[in-house]
Amino acid sequence: MRIRSIKDARLALAIAGALASLSAMPAFAADGTGDDATNPQKATTLGAVDVSARLDEARNSLSPDTGSSQYVIDRQTIQALPLGDATPLNQIVLQAPGVVQDSYGQLHIRGDHANLQYRINGVLIPESIGGFGQTLDARLIDNMKLLTGALPAQYGERTAAIVDITTRTGKEGTGGSVGVTGGSFGTINPNATIFGRSGAWSWFATANYLVNDVGIENPTSSRKPVHDRTNQVKAFGDISYLIDNDTRLSFMFGATNNRFQIPNNPGQAPQFGYLDVTNFDSANLNERQQEKTRFGILSLQGKMGETAYQVSAGERYSGLSFTPDDIGDLMFNGVASNVRRSNRATTLQADFSTPVGDNHTLRYGLYGAYESAKSTNDAMVFPADDNGNQTSTVPLNIVDASRVIARTYALYVQDEWSIGDHWTVNYGVRADKYNAFRVESQLSPRIGAIWQPNDSTTVHAGYSRYFTPPASEAITSTSIEKFAGTTNALPDNGSNTPLVERSDYYDIGISQKLGSQWTAGIDAYYRRVSRIQDEGQFGAAVVYSTFNYDQGRIQGTEFTLNFDGGPLTAYFNFAYNRSLGKKIITGQYNFAPDDLAYIANNYIHLDHDQKFTSSGGVNYAIDSTTRIGADYLFGSGLRKDGAVPNGASMPSYFQLNLSVAHDFNFDKTGALHTQLALINALDRTYQLRDGSGIGVGAPQYGPRRGVYLSVQKDF
């Protein structure tokens, strides 16, 4: 398996702490040939493939990464993973350094809770409502860059990491593939992809359907969870039209519809009575959740003289609905909530890049978003006394609804300055404004530098001031008064509205080539945070709500080692992280008074803090048709409650995955690709969560051993 960084002779050589310059990065046409865009002369005889390659190069020049840390995962790497193209996107990102897995498919990068930004072809995609469905599919990815650290001024909003995806493009004519992955736990995953190019038009589309019996992490250590079936539909498309040699119009669209049963934890004892019912088997609960996402983005991209540009207008809708087991939830939790959340976002993004002389590139742009987030909690509860004791077995119905209108505005300008043959400096400033319940704004300076004394060594350092608005889709305005005197009563204390997070981020690292086959890198970071954001699951619905600590401190170190020996490739990542927060200042009604009192005067570990994290893998091509591979994940354990909130760690875990792939060649039908994967080959039972800790809703276990076979036919 190969995970490698981009190298440029002047600007960058990067692995987990080193950098690359997209402006100097060679673009490749659909047929795999490179295109030199340093001489942007007009030629009416250029073919569509050549024009597309030049426009790809122009688009790349819009996005610098000087001073940040970059990790690149290409399509070849994805296909070498045990599940290949069937690998969920979050599992692909887990192969990068410093990425921690959590329950419900969540990721934590460098000590942040979620806070990931997804971009497709340079366009920011507003995030979906936080649940456990994956919106994007690996089959659309040509390559994916993970940017972390001190980001340039172009990047704002979600800043823990930038997942920057470049989509696949079509060849002349029409092609595609059909396939299916099936195996353990009732898994069936058929898929189809089509792409092509004709004249000025090009297109790419992919869709797949997934069904299995392990939609969400098992709350018990049993091999097969109870009531955990899922079916998921995902589709993505990208259509482009070349207006002329310097202009391209593109339309991207995507849709997902994911349905989940909420798995049950047998043997639980009811805490409340319902009418004349006094007992309920928790294995028979029937809670369900559905998540939908749809987006469409229209982009005009090209060059005006020496200036490259991309202007995009988009719309994204995301919805979540949780359907409780009315009687069961009332008896176990004292509340049965039919939860509905939706978020509609309209966005405008414009990015420009202009070379100034021989040594400067000026980049500037804007971003705006209008979001309407609605939340409805149609709840049944029991009457209760002042001590929370049930006073009647006849439930009451309470409807609690809220709506948030959020407006986001951002402007940025930055200059990339090449100083001699060994130095590159990118400095700039970003202005952000966020208007929801209140108006908040910030002017954020950014600076990053690369020193490359020779072709083997790259040193980088950077500083960024960040302004991170709360995720609008995770804001709820719960009416504390409505639930007074019920079994869902909440303490009337503190603020109900999350605040914008503000932080200072420092990052420094070095990458070193060791001969022609080895590359090593080390990166260190420190973040001082005011009003640090966190998220928690506070209720039966698997949906997260945002709250703030007053102060936060995050620091860590990452080490990477890569080997590329032709048929044999390997990688190793190891990361250390510490994430601490003090004094909860918003969303206090979600917490016990004793916990609030302790956290008010003491730093505690954030619930997603994992001290040590490691990933690695090896892949060997036996010949042109057969390869074998293995990869692993290791974590020292997320936090759980101890003597103090989040005061202890879950046990460490290790998961080993194996694979073998072979291409069969038939005279009449051509090549047929097959891939056999063994997930958690050692069948080691490990627990991600035990149900305790700040904002942790239930226990969750990692996957048990599973065998999966993928078959794919290209045409």
Q: Which one, of 298, 191, 246, lies nearest residue 710 by Cα?
A: 191
Q: Could you give the C-alpha distances from 98 to 64, 575, 654, in angstroms and in order? A: 22, 5, 16
On whether residue 2 sits in a domain, the answer given is: no
Question: Predicted confidence band at 536 (pLDDT cuts at 50, 70, 90)?
Answer: confident
The reply to whether 1 falls in a domain is: no
For the cut 50, the answer to whether the pLDDT of residue 243 exceeds it is yes
**Looking at residues 161-167, what average pLDDT do you find?**
92
Minimum mean pLDDT range among 51-60, 454-463, 499-508: 51-60
pLDDT above 60 (res 38): no
Quote the domain boundaries for residue 236.
Answer: 7-714
- Pairing mode of beta strands 604-605, 687-690: unpaired
Cα of 229 vs its chain's centroid, Å: 23
Residue 542 burial class via C-beta count within 10 angstroms: exposed 0-12, middle 13-18, buried 19 and up: buried
Is residue 386 within 8 Å of 419, Cβ to Cβ?
no
Average pLDDT rounded to a whole number, residues 253-264 = 95
Alpha-carbon span 480 to 393, nearest angstrom: 22
Comparing 472 with 42, the larger pLDDT belongs to: 472
Distance CA 563, CA 517 (A): 5
Range 80-93 burial, b when 16+ CB lie within 10 A, else e: bbbbbbbbbbbbbb
Which of 365, 371, 367 is CA-nearest to residue 346? 371
Q: Work out how many domains the chain is built from and give that number.
A: 1
Q: Residue 14 pLDDT > 80, yes or no?
A: no
> 315-348 b/e with 16+ CB inside 10 Å = b?
ebbbbbbbbbbebbbbbbbbbbbbbbbbbbbebe
Say how many CA atoms lie within 13 Å of 654 toward its Cβ. Answer: 3
Amino acid at 516: S
Given a cut of 90, whether residue 701 has pLDDT beyond it is yes
Could you write out the three-class secondary structure of 653-704?
EEEEEEEEEEEEEECCCEEEEEEEEEECCCCCCCEEEECCCCCCCCEEECCC
- Alpha-carbon distance 478 to 589, whole Å? 9
**According to the model, what pLDDT value does residue 230 have?**
96
Burial of 210 from C-beta contacts in 10 A (0-12 / 13-18 / 19+):
buried
Question: What is residue 34's predicted lDDT score, i.e. its pLDDT?
Answer: 35
pLDDT the model gives residue 361 = 95
Return the ∠ at Cα 458 (arms to 572 and 506), rounded to 5°.
80
Confirm whether 578 is domain-assigned.
Answer: yes
Instruction: Give strand pairing partners of 451.
Output: 423, 459
Written as six digits, the tokens of 297 are: 């983005």
- Give me the pLDDT at residue 556, please: 96
Q: Which of 358, 247, 238 is nearest to 308 (CA)?
A: 247
> Would you say residue 430 has pLDDT above 60?
yes
Residues 688-709: what's their mean pLDDT?
Answer: 91
How many C-beta atoms lie closer than 10 Å to residue 220's C-beta? 18
Average pLDDT, integer, range 516-529: 95
pLDDT above 60 (res 602) = yes
In angstroms, how far is CA 208 from the centroid of its own chain? 20
- Rounded CA gap, 159 and 682, in Å? 36
Per-residue pLDDT at 39: 37
Would residue 211 count as lying in a domain? yes
Predicted confidence at residue 548, as pLDDT, reads 92
- Per 3-state DSSP, the chain is made up of helix, strand and coil in percentages (nearest 5) of 10, 55, 35
Tokens of 530: 């005011």
Cα four-point dihedral sign 523, 526, 529, 534: positive
Q: What's the pLDDT at 5?
A: 37
| pTM of the full structure | 0.87
Residue with tokens 């709360």: 470
Rounding to the nearest 10 degrees, give the CA dihedral for residues 693, 697, 699, 700: -110
Is the per-residue pLDDT at 30 higher than 60? no
Asked if residue 686 is part of any domain, the answer here is: yes
Q: What is the pLDDT of residues 604-636, one digit of tens each?
A: 999 999 999 999 999 999 999 999 999 999 999
Are 15 and 509 in contact by the 8 Å Cβ rule? The answer is no
Helices in 301-451 by DSSP H: which ranges? 326-333
How confident is residue 477, by pLDDT bands cut at 50, 70 and 90?
low
pLDDT at 387: 86
Q: What letter does residue 75 receive in the DSSP assignment?
A: H
Looking at the domain assignment, is residue 500 inside a domain?
Answer: yes
Q: CB–CB of 177/713 below 8 Å?
A: yes
The pLDDT of residue 67: 64
- The answer to whether 342 and 292 have CB atoms below 8 angstroms apart is no
Regarding predicted confidence, which is higher, 546 or 675? 675
**Domain membership flag for residue 177:** yes
For residues 86 and 193, give the distance between their C-alpha atoms in angstroms, rounded to a whole number: 13
Lowest mean pLDDT among 31-40, 286-295, 346-355, 529-538: 31-40
CA nearest to 173, candidates 209, 210, 213, 201: 201
What's the one-letter identity of residue 332? Answer: F
What CATH number has the domain bearing residue 263? 2.40.170.20
Average pLDDT of 72-88? Answer: 91
Is 80 exceeded by the pLDDT of residue 493? no
Q: What is the pLDDT of residues 105-142, one digit of tens each?
A: 889 999 998 888 999 999 998 877 665 567 888 999 99
Range scoring the smallest mean pLDDT among 58-62, 428-432, 627-631, 655-659:
58-62
Question: For residue 113, what is the DSSP state?
Answer: S
Supply the pLDDT for residue 4. 37
pLDDT at 478: 67
**Burial class, 643, CB count within 10 angstroms (exposed 0-12 / middle 13-18 / buried 19+):** exposed
| pLDDT above 80 (res 593) | yes
Sole residue written with tokens 């090593």: 520
Distance between CA 378 and CA 482 in Å, rounded?
A: 12
Phi-psi region of 550 (alpha: psi -120 to 50; beta: other; left: phi over 0): alpha
> Mean pLDDT across the chain, nearest whole number?
88
Residue 237's closest CA among 188, 318, 170, 163?
Answer: 170
**Contact status, residue 509 vs residue 457, Cβ threshold 8 Å:** no
Percent of the chain predicted with pLDDT > 70 = 90
Q: What does the pLDDT average to over 94-101? A: 92
Among residues 527, 515, 512, 516, which one has the least CA distance to residue 560?
512
- How far apart (Å, rounded) are the C-alpha atoms in residues 382 and 61? 60
| Average pLDDT value for residue range 17-33 | 32
According to the model, what pLDDT value does residue 567 have?
94
- Residue 11: pLDDT band (50, 70, 90) is very low
Q: How confident is the model at residue 587 (pLDDT cuts 50, 70, 90)?
A: confident
Q: Cβ(677)–Cβ(657) under 8 Å?
A: yes
